[in-house]
């Protein structure tokens, strides 16, 4: 594309230096010669965007089929991690919970005996 534009520019420059035609006519010719490749390039870009959009829509329809198994696996791993962390924390939390419950029961008994 760049070489085409450079070639067109050199062609117009060579014709203008020969003195054929008016500068206004050459300006119009240059504008037309630059507009045509630009229009072709825009059509190509528009076609690429259309094809890309079509393929993206097809991909979005197909993604759940491929990711449902992956999602189930991730859910299983998350459940296993949760069970593992619960099992690892149980030896630490259970004695502390018993100690806290006994401390609270002791405070409650003390408050009962102080009230009377």
Domain ranges of the chain: 2-115
pLDDT band per the 50, 70, 90 thresholds, residue 104: confident
Q: Are 33 and 12 in contact (CB under 8 A)?
A: yes
**Mean pLDDT of the region 6-26:** 75
State the pLDDT at residue 116.
53
**Which tops the pLDDT comparison, 43 or 15?**
43
- Residue 12 contacts residue 30 (beta carbons within 8 Å): yes
pLDDT score, position 43: 95
Indicate if the pLDDT at residue 112 is higher than 90: no
pLDDT tens digit sequence for 49-78: 999 999 999 988 888 777 888 888 888 999
Cβ atoms of 73 and 41 within 8 Å: the answer is no
The reply to whether the predicted model has a pTM over 0.85 is no
Cα–Cα distance, 106 to 116 (Å, whole number): 16
Using CA atoms, how far residue 29 sits from 20, 38, 87, in Å, is 12, 14, 81
**Closest C-alpha to 4, from 38, 29, 45:** 38
């Amino acid at each position: 594309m760049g070489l085409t534009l450079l070639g067109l520019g050199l062609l117009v420059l060579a014709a203008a230096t020969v003195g054929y035609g008016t500068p206004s006519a050459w300006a119009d010719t240059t504008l037309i010669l630059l507009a045509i490749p630009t229009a072709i390039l825009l059509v190509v870009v528009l076609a690429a965007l259309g094809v890309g959009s079509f393929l993206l829509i097809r991909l979005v329809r197909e993604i759940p089929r491929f990711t449902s198994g992956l999602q189930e696996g991730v859910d299983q791993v998350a459940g296993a991690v949760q069970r593992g962390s619960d099992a690892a924390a149980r030896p630490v939390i259970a004695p502390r919970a018993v100690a806290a419950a006994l401390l609270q029961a002791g405070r409650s008994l003390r408050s009962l005996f102080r009230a009377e």
